[in-house]
């Protein structure tokens, strides 16, 4: 039986952050009940059509912890009609200021074993500048509660290159990380996504961010300091203690299958990559007609699979296993891409042994190489 991951999207937030272009809506609480009912129906539609075993679950958003715990319970009970008795990782995204003791205890009872907390920064000036509705103190209190209730796999998100952020601010974030000692961190650089408030401000010249060289220098320092406390970089933006690398995210990066439920969810099954509608009305209409909520669907042929494999594997610090590449695609990677590799000779860009991978310097400039490949 095929083992797949499962992503479930909850598109509700108390407040939309200024950098966000995700499928997330605020002030639509009147839609929650109807959305969850349609989500449960969509799960049933997949169960009627697909025989598989789910071994990882990720509930994302939006802010899943914003909605009442009863809805999370309903979703998980519906998912349990799949074969899920060997779940290796079960994550729910939470935001500070949206969790409580009762919610966390319910999550634990439901089998959730990993909390991903959207901290973003421990500097209150930065948090205010990016539109977060929590303070550093609230985040620290919530982290303390998560630990007290026995969750031993805590991940949180932090961001770099934010308004009002400087090296002193980042140093404070690092000090907090050392004190908290999470099992996993995703530390992302700000990307200006079209549709976000920051994108519009940048177009008007009203957004002040770091110089690129400063950002690279600070991130290199982050990598080294996290490594010193056992949080090793295993993907371009992800760090983990040994054994706590995200099993679910690795499914994305390694080209394994995963189902997506809910608005805007993206899935990959039987060489088809698909994305669900982002529209409440379309979502409800499609489910009412007993249709999956898929809006876009594309077949991934062998050439596309090879390109995707290269992109995702080179995001990981382990890189491409050369023997595995040859077994998958029938060609020698170093021979096929000899010309592209040669362009970066003597630049400390790659490490080549049984794997082909970027050096730390190469990771910083990885897009330059990938543009030649793609």
**Which residues share a beta bridge with 339?**
none
Minimum mean pLDDT range among 155-164, 190-199, 258-267? 190-199
Within a 10 A sphere around the Cβ of 172, how many other Cβ atoms? Answer: 15
Task: Report d(CA 308, CA 304) in Å as an integer.
Answer: 6
User: Do 246 and 357 fall within a single domain?
Assistant: no
Backbone angles phi, psi at 59, to 5 degrees: -100, 115
What CATH number is attached to the domain comprising 308?
1.10.10
Q: What is the pLDDT of residues 44-73, one digit of tens each?
A: 999 999 989 999 999 999 999 999 999 999
Number of domains in the chain: 2
Phi, psi of 191 (to 5 degrees): -115, 130
Q: Tell me, what DSSP letter sits at residue 83?
A: B
pTM over 0.85: yes
Question: Within a domain: residue 290?
Answer: no
Cβ neighbours of residue 195 closer than 8 Å, sequence gap 6 or more: 21
Residues 244 and 367 in one domain: no
Write out pLDDT tens, residues 69-83: 999 999 999 999 999
Residue 261 located in a structural domain: no
φ, ψ of residue 56 to 5 degrees: the values are -150, 145
216 closest CA partner among 319, 357, 363, 316? 363
- Same-domain status, 169 and 73: yes
Q: Which domain holds residue 338?
A: 303-373
Examine the pLDDT at 347 and tell me if it is beyond 90: no
Do 330 and 234 share a structural domain? no
Phi, psi (5° rounding) for residue 315? Answer: -75, -25
Compute φ and ψ for 275, nearest 5 degrees. -135, 135
pLDDT of residue 2: 80
Give residue 12's pLDDT band: very low, low, confident or very high (50, 70, 90): very high
Q: How far apart are CA 268 and CA 251, in angstroms?
A: 10
Q: Is the pLDDT of residue 346 over 80?
A: no
Measured CA to CA, the distance from residue 322 to residue 357 in angstroms comes to 10
Q: What is the mean pLDDT of the chain?
A: 95
Whole-angstrom Cα distance, residue 360 to residue 274? 33
Residue that terminates a domain, selected from 218, 253, 288: 253
Are both 219 and 354 inside the same structural domain? no
Residue positions counted in the chain: 374
Claim to verify: residue 25 and residue 106 sit in the same structural domain: yes
Do residue 105 and residue 211 come from a single domain? yes
Asked whether the predicted pLDDT for residue 367 surpasses 90, the reply is no
Which SS3 state, helix, strand or coil, does residue 111 take? coil
> Is residue 359 in some structural domain?
yes
Percent of the chain with pLDDT over 70: 100
- Other beta carbons less than 10 A from residue 168's beta carbon: 8
């Amino acid at each position: 039986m095929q083992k797949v991951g499962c992503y479930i999207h909850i598109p509700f937030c108390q407040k939309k952050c200024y950098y966000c272009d995700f499928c997330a809506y605020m002030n639509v609480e009147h839609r929650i009940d109807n959305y969850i009912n349609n989500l449960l129906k969509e799960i049933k539609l997949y169960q009627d059509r697909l025989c598989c075993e789910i071994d990882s679950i990720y509930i994302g958003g939006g802010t899943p912890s914003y909605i009442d715990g009863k809805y999370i319970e309903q979703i998980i009970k519906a998912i349990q009609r799949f074969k899920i008795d060997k779940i290796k990782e079960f994550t729910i995204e939470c935001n500070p200021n949206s969790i409580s003791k009762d919610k966390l205890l319910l999550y634990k009872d439901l089998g959730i074993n990993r909390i991903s907390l959207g901290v973003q920064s421990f500097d209150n000036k930065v948090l205010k500048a990016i539109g977060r509705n929590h303070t550093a103190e609230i985040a620290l209190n919530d982290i303390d509660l998560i630990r007290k209730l026995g969750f031993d796999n805590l991940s949180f998100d932090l961001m770099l290159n934010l308004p009002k952020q400087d090296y002193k601010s980042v140093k404070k974030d690092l000090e907090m990380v050392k004190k908290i000692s999470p099992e996993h961190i995703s530390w992302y650089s700000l990307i200006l996504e079209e549709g976000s408030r920051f994108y519009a401000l940048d177009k008007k010249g009203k957004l002040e961010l770091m110089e690129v060289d400063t950002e690279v220098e600070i991130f290199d320092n982050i990598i080294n300091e996290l490594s010193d406390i056992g949080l090793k970089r295993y993907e371009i933006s992800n760090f983990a203690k040994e054994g706590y690398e995200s099993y679910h995210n690795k499914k994305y990066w390694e080209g394994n299958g995963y189902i997506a439920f809910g608005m805007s969810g993206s899935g990959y099954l039987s060489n088809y990559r698909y994305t669900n509608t982002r529209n409440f009305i379309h979502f409800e209409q499609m489910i009412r007609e007993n249709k999956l909520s898929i809006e876009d669907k594309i077949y991934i042929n062998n050439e596309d699979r090879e390109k995707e494999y290269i992109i995702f594997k080179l995001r990981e610090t382990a890189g491409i296993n050369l023997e595995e590449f040859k077994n998958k695609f029938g060609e020698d990677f170093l021979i096929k891409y000899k010309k592209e590799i040669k362009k970066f000779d003597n630049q400390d860009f790659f490490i080549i042994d049984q794997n082909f991978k970027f050096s730390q310097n190469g990771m910083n400039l990885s897009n330059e190489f990938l543009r030649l490949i793609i």
